[in-house]
């Protein structure tokens, strides 16, 4: 059996540029895919079901919660969001590396269920630089910026719950750091225990077990 893909869980305070880093990584390596979330909010113009999100009714979403169908989920501003387990496992079983760009609370939910994922925390070079980046956006009031900075200071204390820290001073350097992490993880000896049992009846179930051990 081929080796499963890597589950790359990437978090960091707002303004660290984690989305920019992830997009640059995927642009450079098209074989890496994003995990597609499910949501109960209506599709926006141009959004495609199964590409941007899996659009579900609230009753269907909550039923999947009861069935354990999400790796993590939360209610945000009146709508539910979650990471579907089946789609994630299918990609991993196909050997695809999957990026799950998610907030810290969601990442910790994922870690409880998939402790063998690769957890990467994106840090700003400094709080001063982070404030500068947030201000440069020009989208937030002084009050909102102050709240974001206060939140970021607290979130940065969560770094110890992750496997790796990547400081995003320059996007290219941050991408190179994640590439090095991926290279190292693909050569980790423990990953090769997967090929010791090639006759599994349910490959996706087997992949789930490998990530959850």
Q: Which residues are annotated as a binding site for ATP?
A: 12-19
What is the number of residues in the chain?
Answer: 213
Q: Please name every residue paired with 54 in a beta bridge, in sequence order, or none if there are none.
A: 38
Q: E strands, 17-69, where?
A: 33-34, 38-39, 54-55
Which residues carry a binding-site annotation? 12-19
The residue written with tokens 């490998």 in the block is: 210
Helix (H, G, I), strand (E, B) or coil at 133: helix
Handedness of CA 42, 48, 50, 53 (dihedral sign): negative
Q: How far apart are CA 166 and CA 169, in angstroms?
A: 9
Helix (H, G, I), strand (E, B) or coil at 185: helix
Exposure string for 161-181, b = 16+ CB within 10 A, e = fewer: ebebebebeeeeebbebbeeb
Helix (H, G, I), strand (E, B) or coil at 8: strand
- DSSP class of residue 9 equals E
């Amino acid at each position: 059996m081929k080796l499963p893909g890597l589950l790359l869980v990437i978090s960091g305070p707002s303004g660290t540029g984690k989305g920019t880093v992830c997009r640059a990584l995927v642009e450079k390596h098209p074989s890496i895919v994003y995990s597609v979330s499910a949501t109960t909010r209506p599709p926006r113009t141009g959004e495609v079901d199964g590409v941007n999100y899996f659009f579900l009714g609230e009753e269907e979403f909550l039923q999947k919660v009861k069935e354990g169908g999400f790796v993590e989920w939360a209610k945000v501003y009146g709508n539910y969001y979650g990471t579907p387990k089946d789609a994630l496992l299918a990609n991993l079983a196909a050997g695809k590396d999957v990026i799950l760009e998610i907030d810290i609370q969601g990442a910790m939910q994922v870690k409880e269920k998939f402790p063998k994922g690769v957890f990467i925390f994106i840090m700003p070079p400094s709080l001063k630089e982070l404030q500068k980046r947030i201000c440069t956006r020009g989208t937030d009031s002084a009050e909102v910026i102050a709240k974001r900075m206060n939140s970021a200071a607290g979130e940065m204390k969560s770094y110890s719950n992750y496997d790796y820290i990547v400081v995003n001073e320059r996007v290219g350097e941050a991408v190179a750091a994640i590439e090095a992490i991926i290279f190292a993880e693909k050569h980790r000896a423990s990953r090769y225990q997967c090929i010791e049992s090639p006759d599994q009846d349910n490959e996706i179930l087997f992949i789930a077990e490998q990530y959850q051990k």
